[in-house]
């Protein structure tokens, strides 16, 4: 549904996108993560057509998106990082407006508006102007404007930033439902546990390039987890060992004659992946970026 190849975007002398490659298939949620300034929002802006890249190629649903922008825009639902709502317009009117832009009319437009209001728990504030809502409610309205009309490609740029747990849960449930219905979802976030919840494919951006991409299982498989062993010993109540083979390491520990009172194995997670890749790249001379996982 979305395929970006070697995108380059320069601001002044700086390549903010520097050979950015990414694909998102129908039904797939891709979580795009990376440090502040890695180029995530710039990539979203290129896909929406707001920013023109200096080089590279971009396809959306088989269209060359850098040539046929207007055909592509109809396929997108976008929730930008900076909230963009009309303060005096009610929540319901926002959704009616975006449903209309998605091509729905009459009863179908009303039904879709009601459905999305319910889905994002916005029915109680449907007739309030967006400007009087709380931050979390406004986040939900923004996501709702992206989802109304069920576009086949959703671009959600930090949709849960500053959201309370209830808002976060409603948004994540709606995102999962959209992907299950076949939408391709690009989801940027700094909250890695959300990507576990969404069972998302993960793409890690650094300095304008995607340096690692794959399922969470693939990306974390070779990283060490942690073996935590507690002893009834005030001198050493707990031992924490990085491990890629917890069974063997525990057997070695037992063979040494020590008797644990409890054993816990923590599997490697996305935070370990993030830290390990960041450490790899910050050690490299000149910040040269290379592909780690494909």
Does 38 bind ligand ATP (CB under 6 A)? Our answer is yes
Binding mask 40-79 for ligand ATP (x = CB under 6 A): xxx-------------------------------------
Pull the structure tokens for residue 221. 């498989």
Does 37 bind ligand ATP (CB under 6 A)? Our answer is yes
Task: List alpha helices for 90-198, DSSP H.
Answer: 91-101, 106-119, 135-147, 165-180, 192-198
Give, as ranges, the residues between 87 and 106 that touch ligand ATP (CB under 6 A): none
Does 30 bind ligand ATP (CB under 6 A)? Our answer is no
Pull the structure tokens for residue 262. 């409890």
- Judged by CB under 6 A, the number of residues near ligand ATP is 10
Greatest C-alpha distance within the chain: 76
Q: What is the rounded distance in angstroms from the CA atom of residue 168 to the CA atom of residue 37?
A: 24
Q: What is the rounded distance in angstroms from the CA atom of residue 117 to the CA atom of residue 125?
A: 9
Q: Which stretch binds ligand ATP (CB under 6 A): 38-46, 112-120, 191-199, 246-254?
A: 38-46
154: β partners = 77, 185
Does 270 bind ligand ATP (CB under 6 A)? Our answer is no
Q: Which stretch binds ligand ATP (CB under 6 A): 39-47, 193-201, 254-262, 267-275?
A: 39-47
Give me the phi and psi of 101, to 5 degrees please.
-65, -30
What is the closest distance, in whole angstroms, from the C-beta atom of residue 78 to ligand ATP in the complex?
14
Query: Tokens 């950015």 — which residue?
Result: 20
Does 11 bind ligand ATP (CB under 6 A)? Our answer is yes
Interface positions with ligand ATP (CB under 6 A)? 11, 16, 34, 36-42
């Amino acid at each position: 549904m979305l395929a970006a190849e070697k995108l380059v975007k320069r601001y002044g002398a700086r390549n903010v996108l520097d050979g950015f490659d990414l694909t998102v298939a129908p039904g797939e949620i891709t979580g795009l993560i990376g440090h502040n300034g890695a180029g995530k929002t710039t990539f979203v802006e290129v896909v929406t057509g707001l920013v023109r890249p200096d080089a590279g190629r971009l396809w959306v649903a088989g269209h060359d998106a850098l040539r046929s922008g207007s055909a592509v825009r109809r396929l997108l639902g976008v929730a930008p990082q900076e909230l963009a709502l009309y303060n005096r317009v009610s929540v319901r009117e926002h959704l009616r407006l975006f449903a209309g832009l998605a091509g729905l009319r009459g009863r179908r437009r009303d039904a879709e508006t009601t459905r999305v209001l319910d889905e994002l728990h916005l029915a109680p504030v449907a007739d309030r102007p967006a400007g009087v809502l709380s931050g979390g409610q406004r986040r939900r309205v923004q996501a709702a404007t992206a989802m109304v009309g069920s576009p086949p490609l959703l671009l959600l740029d930090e949709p849960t930033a500053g959201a309370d747990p209830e808002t976060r849960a409603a948004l994540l449930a709606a995102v999962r439902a959209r992907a299950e219905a076949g939408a391709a979802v690009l989801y940027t976030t700094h909250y890695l546990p959300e990507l576990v919840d969404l069972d998302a494919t993960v793409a890690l951006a650094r300095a304008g390039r995607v340096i690692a991409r794959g399922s969470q299982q693939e990306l974390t498989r070779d990283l060490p987890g942690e073996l935590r062993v507690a002893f009834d010993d005030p001198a050493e109540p707990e031992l924490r060992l990085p491990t890629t083979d917890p069974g063997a390491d525990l057997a070695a520990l037992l063979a040494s004659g020590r008797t644990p009172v409890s054993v816990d194995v923590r599997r490697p997670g996305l935070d370990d992946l993030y830290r390990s890749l960041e450490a790899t790249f910050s050690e490299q001379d000149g910040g040269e970026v290379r592909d780690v996982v494909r």
